[in-house]
């Protein structure tokens, strides 16, 4: 038995085709406005990166910071315990010495370098809940930059933290 197409079926198909044009138009508008929003947030609302000359000796230069990141990437992969990580650590220590030498006279620059033989952190929440992270033979650098004449500044400090190692090592 062959079913005859009714007038109602053809109207339904025409309505769906017409509706899909509106859906495509709506998606296009969403993509255009979304792209514009990202562009505005990325380029129009953020301040311009400052160079070393613009910030002087008391400011933070994004240009100088990215130069250090680029230099660290030139070491290639440097997992924990590798000689490449030791080279990266020496680079950071040399950069800190340069910061100490060129720092403004109203600023104290303190370096604290310490070695952790071993340790473990038990994760109680998040993605790794119930897991234990074990580490050994890690070097840590703490750099404190504070104004000499404002004791309360050390009480209201901001911690900026990062890893120098780039990849996980599966075994030693």
Judge residue 72's burial from the number of C-beta atoms within 10 Å of its C-beta, 0-12 exposed, 13-18 middle, 19 or more buried: middle
Same domain, 73 and 142: yes
- Across the chain, mean pLDDT equals 80
29 is in which domain, residue-wise? 8-46
Q: What is the pTM assigned to this prediction? A: 0.61
Q: What is the pLDDT of residues 70-95, one digit of tens each?
A: 999 998 888 888 888 899 999 999 99
Same domain, 93 and 125: yes
Q: What is the pLDDT of residues 150-167, one digit of tens each?
A: 778 777 777 777 888 877
Same domain, 59 and 141: yes
More confident residue, 123 or 18: 123
Same domain, 40 and 101: no
Same domain, 58 and 35: no
Domain count, the chain: 2
Q: Three-class SS of residue 6?
A: coil
Same domain, 56 and 91: yes
Same domain, 42 and 58: no
Mean pLDDT of 23-49: 88
- Residue at 1 is within a domain: no
pLDDT of residue 18: 67
Q: Quickly list H helices, the chain.
A: 7-39, 52-55, 62-73, 83-102, 152-155
């Amino acid at each position: 038995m062959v079913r005859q197409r009714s007038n109602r079926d053809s109207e339904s198909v025409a309505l769906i085709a017409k509706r899909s044009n509106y859906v495509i138009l709506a998606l296009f508008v969403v993509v255009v406005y979304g792209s514009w929003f990202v562009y505005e947030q990325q380029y129009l609302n953020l301040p311009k990166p400052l160079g070393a000359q613009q910030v002087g000796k008391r400011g933070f230069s994004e240009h100088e910071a990215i130069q250090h990141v680029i230099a660290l990437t030139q070491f290639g992969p440097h997992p924990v315990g590798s000689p490449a990580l030791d080279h990266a650590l020496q680079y950071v220590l040399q950069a800190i010495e340069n910061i100490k030498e060129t720092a403004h006279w109203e600023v104290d620059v303190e370096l604290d370098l310490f070695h952790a033989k071993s340790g473990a952190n038990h994760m109680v929440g998040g993605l790794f809940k119930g897991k234990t992270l074990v580490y050994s033979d890690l070097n840590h650098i703490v750099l404190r930059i504070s104004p000499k004449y404002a004791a309360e500044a050390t009480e209201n400090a901001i911690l900026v933290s990062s890893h120098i190692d780039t990849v996980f090592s599966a075994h030693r």
